[in-house]
Amino acid sequence: MPRYALCWLEYRPCDDRVYREAVINRIRTLWVQPGEDIVGSEIRDALSRLFHHTPQEGSTGGGGALYVGTSDQSPVAERISAAELGKLGDEGFILKEVGERDGSSSLVLTARTRRGLVYGVFSLVSMLQRGISLDGISLHEEPAFPLRIIDHWDNLDGTIERGYAGKSIFFHRNKVVKGLHRIRDYARLLASVGINGVVLNNVNVRNKALRLITEEYLPSVRRIADVFRDYGIRVYLSVNFMSPVYVGGLPSADPFDPSVKKWWAEVVARIYEYVPDFGGFLVKADSEFNPGPHSYGRSQADGANLLAEALAPHGGLLIWRAFVYNIQDWRDRKTDRARAAYDIFSPLDGRFADNVLLQIKNGPMDFQVREPVSPLFGGMERTNQMVEFQITQEYTGQQIDLCYLVPMWKEVLEFDTHARGEGSTVRRVVDGSLFGRPHGGCAGVANVGSDYNWTGHWLAQANLYGYGRLTWNPDLSSEEIAREWCLRTLTRDGEAVDRLVDMLLASWPVYEKYTTPLGLGWMVNPGHHYGPSPEGYEYSFWGTYHRADNHAIGVDRSSRGTGFATQYRSPWRELYDDPATCPEELVLFFHRLPYTYTLKDGRTLIQYYYDSHFEGVEEVKRLREEWLKLRKHISPRVFREVLERFDRQVKNAVEWRDVLNTYFYRKTGIPDEKGRTLY
Ligand code: GCU
């Protein structure tokens, strides 16, 4: 029994005879550039498992061949024009049908770099799995974002912060795991969707993790990096800003102290001895009890530049998180956590070194089911920026509830900041093109662990898959991505795939309906963040209040309130400022409104909340019913385990409905117009 599933690289044999023959004819012989064993074995493995086909090896010179090699290899250079090859970027690839001298045709898969070849091979495999015709194919793909990173919040003791799928696949009892098989398959899965970087450890760097940058752990970090390198993926580490003190025994970690600079330079030089292509550091500083430059009266830029300077000679990057805010007294009604990142970082624009990237969470708070896009994306023109998404479903159902997040991420990437007039999307900010920045990209907090299916909920694999696909090509629709994943992973039956895609696409709106619609957020159980607790965060120091009383709810973040809305460019600042023009799904993020406020469709706010919760539960039940109809198309284990998750989701939705509706009813005394049960 394998210890884990291979997800979308499982390769179920193709049962379409016509397609199988077409592929076998197209790839009668295979030529792979000498030394490219990994690329070669991926393609051979896929052909043999999908089609029971073993092509002849070598070059016959005639048709029916597949040539795989970098663009400087003669079988490639003979068949594709120099002009075309010249257009290849560092990570892109070309897959093309080419004519042979004898009138027949062959396929060429080429790239400038090994990395590009890896992406190309996995793309070809994806087409073969989905039965896509290779006739006349002419494909040139380049990734949309330079950095496409997965952040692990894995601790060295094997636990995972906000992990919902078992233990760490990297660490066990303060050591790197012994066998690297699973990490190798993980690297394959990630490379197959275009990922090129992995941060191994949690941003909260404590205990043994502090020592990952020392010789105690570097030999083990190297073992992992060697595996990822085979698939073109660079390894990064999270570090604690106070390391010079905690690890180095220095009296200070002040960025202006020469001995601190020297310490970091030495640490970094040693890392590169072990991992010559080390990606760089990720830092959470001055945030949630993690110390940072503010402790020394220095700015965030001073702190970031200190580490960037140590990394620069080796070509490393310093990724600095913008998730910086102060804890707050709930009695303080002026401070607004949503403002913090913009207030702290935008004045520092232009002061970060060239190899620093600012990693900004998609919204100003913390991965709620719905938040506006962080205004910081439109607010810093001279700083490299990355967007941080949370693939792990901390606030979106914890991989018990179904919540396909690709549509949310697409909305974020497509959001127009108007920083340089119309069309200044977040996508163009973080791919570097809008402001002409040298670096940029996406980070996603991983949702995987040691569970057999990697993600707890089988269908949560679609989020990992989708995150990768989106960072490679954000022009793909949420539906296309869902379809690819379903076809490759669950079933090739057309109707079943249609049904699954509909379920995935419905899931985020449904989750929003039974939890906290209209941008309210936060009514979760404190600490673990699953299930409802309307005032769970109301009197705490986290700055996440809704301040409900008998008449109204929400924080006034308009120009008349905390002023958060003014951090946006026009026209957003005006649109958000007025409840009448604010997009309704965010109206309670920006405004404090009476329960009797009338929404666009004529319903009162309170009635909308009641309706939404009643409907949400019915829709979860419907999703469960849809799943039941899929029994004959889904493997028994997957079917059973997903059904079990749906049962739990129904319970959770009922709990949300009853707790929230009761809360509002008791606050307001306003009954449901439709007379449904409120407690
Ligand atoms: C959230 C999450 C924490 C995490 C933090 C972060 O607050 O609950 O577990 O450490 O985000 O992104 O740093």
Q: What CATH number should be reported for the domain holding residue 641? A: 3.90.1330.10
Closest residue by Cα to residue 282 from 323, 245, 251, 250: 323
In a domain, 502, yes or no: yes
Mean pLDDT of 526-548: 97
Q: Is 60's pLDDT higher than 90?
A: no
Cβ atoms 605, 554 nearer than 8 A: no
What amino acid occupies position 99?
G
Mean pLDDT of the chain: 97
Q: Is 389's pLDDT higher than 90?
A: yes
Atom 12 (ligand 1) nearest CA = 323
- Note the residue count of the chain: 679
Atom 13 (ligand 1) nearest CA = 203
Clarify whether residues 322 and 445 are in a common domain: yes
Note if the bond before 571 is cis, omega within 30 degrees.
yes
Q: Is the CB of 161 under 6 A from ligand 1?
A: yes
Clarify whether residues 351 and 454 are in a common domain: yes
Q: Is 311's pLDDT higher than 80?
A: yes
pLDDT at position 258 is 98
Q: Please, which residues have CB within 8 angstroms of residue 249's CB and are 6 or more apart in sequence?
A: none
Clarify whether residues 230 and 188 are in a common domain: yes
Clarify whether residues 351 and 332 are in a common domain: yes
CA distance linking residue 257 with residue 206, whole number of Å? 23
Mean pLDDT of 235-241: 98
Which two tokens mark 405? 């997040």
Please state which of the ranges 62-66, 120-124, 460-464, 521-525 shows the lowest mean pLDDT: 62-66
In a domain, 485, yes or no: no
Cβ atoms 312, 349 nearer than 8 A: no
Clarify whether residues 497 and 463 are in a common domain: no
pLDDT at position 112 is 97
Which two tokens mark 581? 């023009």
Mean pLDDT of 427-444: 98
pLDDT at position 61 is 75
Give the residue from 125, 141, 157 where a domain finishes: 141
Q: Is 567's pLDDT higher than 80?
A: yes
Render pLDDT for 468-481 as a digit per residue (tens, 0 to 9).
Answer: 999 999 999 999 99
Clarify whether residues 137 and 151 are in a common domain: no
In a domain, 522, yes or no: yes
Please state which of the ranges 55-69, 82-96, 253-267, 290-304 shows the lowest mean pLDDT: 55-69
In a domain, 584, yes or no: no
Whole-model pTM?
A: 0.98
Mean pLDDT of 534-548: 97
pLDDT at position 348 is 98
Mean pLDDT of 599-613: 98
Position of tokens 């008449």? Answer: 551
Clarify whether residues 470 and 500 are in a common domain: no
Q: Please, which residues have CB within 8 angstroms of residue 636's CB and are 6 or more apart in sequence?
A: none
Clarify whether residues 290 and 314 are in a common domain: yes
Clarify whether residues 501 and 371 are in a common domain: no
Answer positive or negative: Cα dihedral of 502, 504, 509, 511. positive
Q: Is the CB of 427 under 6 A from ligand 1?
A: no
Q: Which of 72, 78, 215, 288 is catalytic?
A: 288
pLDDT at position 492 is 94
% of residues, the chain, pLDDT over 90:
98
pLDDT at position 519 is 98
Render pLDDT for 16-40 as a digit per residue (tens, 0 to 9).
Answer: 999 999 999 999 999 999 999 999 9
pLDDT at position 452 is 98
Q: Is 211's pLDDT higher than 80?
A: yes
Which two tokens mark 121? 């091979």
pLDDT at position 397 is 98
pLDDT at position 2 is 77
Q: Which of 366, 416, 556, 672 is catalytic?
A: 366
Q: Which of 36, 42, 151, 394 is catalytic?
A: 394
Residue 401 sits in a domain whose CATH number is 3.20.20.80
Mean pLDDT of 205-227: 98
Whether ipTM > 0.95 holds is yes
Mean pLDDT of 85-102: 96
Which two tokens mark 590? 């920006």
Atom 7 (ligand 1) nearest CA = 366
Clarify whether residues 127 and 260 are in a common domain: no
Q: Is 366 a catalytic residue?
A: yes
Clarify whether residues 420 and 550 are in a common domain: no
Clarify whether residues 132 and 206 are in a common domain: no
In a domain, 99, yes or no: yes
In a domain, 482, yes or no: no
In a domain, 483, yes or no: no
DSSP 97: E
**Rounded distance from Cα 148 to ligand 1 centre (Å):** 20
Cβ atoms 51, 23 nearer than 8 A: yes
Render pLDDT for 320-361 as a digit per residue (tens, 0 to 9).
Answer: 999 999 999 999 999 999 999 999 999 999 999 999 999 999
Q: Which residues span the domain enclosing 129?
A: 7-141
Strands 93-99 and 105-111, sheet pairing: antiparallel
In a domain, 666, yes or no: yes
Q: Is 584 a catalytic residue?
A: no
Q: Is 619 a catalytic residue?
A: no
Q: How many domains does the chain have?
A: 3
Give the residue from 122, 141, 160 where a domain finishes: 141
Mean pLDDT of 38-55: 97
Q: Taking the mean position of all CA atoms in its chain, how far away is CA 166?
A: 19
**Rounded distance from Cα 626 to ligand 1 centre (Å):** 34
Ligand 1 atom with the smallest distance to the CA of 284 is 13
